[in-house]
Amino acid sequence: MASGCFWRCNWLVLALTLCVSGCATYADQRARVQALFISGDLTKAQEAIDKGAERRFDRDVFQLDRAMVQLAEGKPREAEQNLREIRDRFDQLSQPAVGEKALSMLTDAQREAYHGEDYEQVLIRVMLSLTNLVQDGSDAAAYALQVNEKQQQVIDAAKLPDGTNPKAGYQQVAFGPYLYGAMREATHANYDDVQRAATVVCSWNPEFPYGQQDLERAKHGRHSAPGNGVLYVIALAGVGPRKEEKIEFPSQVALLIGDQILSAIGDQTLPPTIAPIKVPRVVLTQHDVGSIGLAVNGQRLGRTATITDIGQMAVQQHEAVIDRIVAEAVVRRVVKKSVIYGTKKLTGVQKHSVEGFLLDMVGVAWEATESADTRCWGLLPDKIQVLRLELPAGEHQLTLESLTAGGYPLGRPTTHRVEIVNGANTYVLGNFPHGNLVGTLLTNHPAKQIELAQTPAR
């Protein structure tokens, strides 16, 4: 009877092991999507996203990438709808389902539905504001306000019973108040709002070189001179952060010592800790894009500057929560050892027996199948950059090109014609992961937005 129960439990653990080891890696598919996107092959990038989204637990993270491809393709309406759905789903998934959490303890963290890193949840609101801005802009200001609301919500929710908060030092996303201030300034009547927004931008990103100019202009209540309008160039520059699997050596040593102690004092041995503890680490992607240079009608007038450094923000936030990630990985390992230990007790396996040794080997194989959760929004830029110029009303030809940090050109320049409307804002949005523009530049319709800009934000 005991022997039959032993083999049933043994096969159960083996089935779990095979289930996990048979899954294709997310990281490989993410890398393929990113490479195709950077090369400008948006059709194949969509196909690769379709393939990655077939796995249920990866569906939402690939949908984030799909929205970025749609935006580059010149389909902001589809991108906005996609992002709205993911935003709402992530909000619902802020606490994982009990069943998924239990499954993740028996497998790894990738068996939980992905609900986004903190910075990703905030940046969904940023991207929503951009997708709407290059349509009619009717909800762009509301989305910009959601950026601030969400990041404060994330920080407040992390407060511990002892009063400490590991997320209290999170870098704030200055793009939200920057865009809100820009839209309020175009009303020519809400300069108190503009001044408050500019003050927040200067506080959250004191290194932003255009911040003080914006603040001084707001104090004097001047959007633009009569007969002029304003051009905003918004660049999604560089290749964003990614996650890679790393081994957590201190935890592995601690587990090994614990194994030896428990095996010595217990009436059963534990599977030895041979497989290392694996955790994700945020890695910055190397790229050469320092800024985007702008020429208007053949005259060079400036370059974009960073308003939000996504890579830096991702690294900082990850370091703030890495202890929790490691702790969950350790708990997961303890659960698996407990299952093997309980199987031995249930089936009456003798200590140091052949059957016990076989179960230990099953436990080792089971633990070895663990993978760190490296899911992330793979098509985010490294930085969001902006440039504001006041120009005469009328049609102008823009030339945009990627520049290195030293100001040297990269790739091919891109030309684009825009209309500057008297007293209004014209926004141009483009994605420059490396030397060349990916997809198309998007522009709003400022004449249509003048009336919308004069209504209070929702």
Q: Is it the case that residue 368 has pLDDT exceeding 60?
A: no
Between residues 198 and 17, the one the model is more confident about: 198
pLDDT of residue 435: 87
Q: Which residues contact 439 (CB under 8 A, 6 or more apart)?
A: 40, 42, 69, 71, 72, 73, 74, 431
The number of beta carbons lying within 10 Å of the beta carbon of residue 152 is 13
Q: Per-residue pLDDT averaged across 146-162, rounded? A: 90
335 is a domain residue: yes
Contact 280, 372 (CB under 8 A): yes
Share of the chain above pLDDT 90, in %: 57
9 is a domain residue: yes
Least confident of 224-238, 253-267, 373-387: 253-267
pLDDT of residue 21: 42
Q: Is it the case that residue 235 has pLDDT exceeding 70?
A: yes
Contact 371, 278 (CB under 8 A): yes
Q: Is it the case that residue 363 has pLDDT exceeding 90?
A: no
Q: Is it the case that residue 211 has pLDDT exceeding 80?
A: yes
Q: Is it the case that residue 409 has pLDDT exceeding 60?
A: yes
181 is a domain residue: yes
Q: Per-residue pLDDT averaged across 176-205, rounded? A: 95
pTM for the model:
0.82
CA distance 57 to 6: 32
Between residues 6 and 369, the one the model is more confident about: 369
Tell me the sheet residues that pair with 247: 278
Most confident range, picked from 170-174, 346-350, 352-356, 426-430:
426-430
pLDDT of residue 325: 78
What is the total count of domains within the chain? 1
- CA torsion angle 335 341 347 350 (round to 10): 170
28 is a domain residue: yes
pLDDT digits (tens, 9 = 90+) for 37-70: 999 999 999 999 999 998 888 899 999 999 999 9
Share of the chain above pLDDT 70, in %: 73
Q: Per-residue pLDDT averaged across 326-349, rounded? A: 67
Q: Is it the case that residue 258 has pLDDT exceeding 50?
A: no
Tokens of 34: 């990113």
Q: What is the mean pLDDT of the chain?
A: 82
pLDDT digits (tens, 9 = 90+) for 421-439: 999 999 999 999 998 999 9
pLDDT of residue 81: 97
Q: Is it the case that residue 319 has pLDDT exceeding 50?
A: yes
**Residue 161 class from Cβ within 10 Å (0-12 exposed, 13-18 middle, 19+ buried)?**
exposed
120 is a domain residue: yes
Q: What is the CATH number of the domain that holds 369?
A: 1.25.40.10
pLDDT of residue 356: 56
pLDDT of residue 350: 59
pLDDT digits (tens, 9 = 90+) for 93-131: 765 544 444 444 444 445 567 888 999 999 999 999 999
Q: Per-residue pLDDT averaged across 153-168, rounded? A: 88
pLDDT band at 216 (very low <50, low <70, confident <90, very high): very high
68 is a domain residue: yes
pLDDT of residue 453: 47
428 is a domain residue: yes
pLDDT band at 26 (very low <50, low <70, confident <90, very high): confident
Domain that holds residue 241: 2-453
Q: Per-residue pLDDT averaged across 202-223, rounded? A: 95
Mode of pairing for the β-strands spanning 299-303 and 291-296? antiparallel
458 is a domain residue: no
pLDDT digits (tens, 9 = 90+) for 294-316: 999 999 999 999 999 999 999 99
Rg (CA), the chain: 26
Buried b (16+ CB within 10 A) or exposed e, 418-431: bebbbbbbbbbbbb
The residue whose two tokens read 């010592």 is 257
